[in-house]
Amino acid sequence: MDTEATILEQLQRQLCAALDTYYANSDPAPYVAQYADRFTTFDPWSNGRKDDSDAAAYTLSSAGGIPPFRYEVLRPRVDLIGDAAVFTFNVAMFDPATNERAGVWNATHVHDLAKDDLPLVHTHWSFAEPPQPTAT
């Protein structure tokens, strides 16, 4: 079995590959491509849990509506529990024009260790701090 350090490194690579496209091109497809066949998600806007194809459709519906951000993954950690990897981290987002912090997220990803590509079986995103008000 792989070590926690090896799996953490792999999960960070997968996450950053997906977030690079998500935040640079407003394209959530690479993130959704990591979803397992059976999948659930929670976030501040989902109005409850989304499951399987509803979760994928919900996430893909944000395409084109995500403003560009520079981001940093902070405090990544993985805990291996049976066939699950519980990957927790924060994401700080920065306005690329001003480099001012635009918000910070708490995130939990649960991955299936029984499969080589470590698909996502659950995500939960919440605000670590409220988003900054936009100027009007």
Domain ranges for the chain: 4-129
From CA 64, how far away is CA 135, in angstroms rounded?
Answer: 21
Q: Which CATH architecture has domain 4-129?
A: Roll (3.10)
45-87 confidence digits (pLDDT tens): 877 888 878 889 989 999 999 889 999 999 999 999 999 999 9
Is 134 a residue whose pLDDT tops 70?
A: no
Name the helix (H) or strand (E) containing 39. Answer: strand 35-42
- Regarding pTM above 0.75, the answer is yes
Q: What does the DSSP assignment read for 111-130? A: EETTSTT--EEEEEEEEEEP
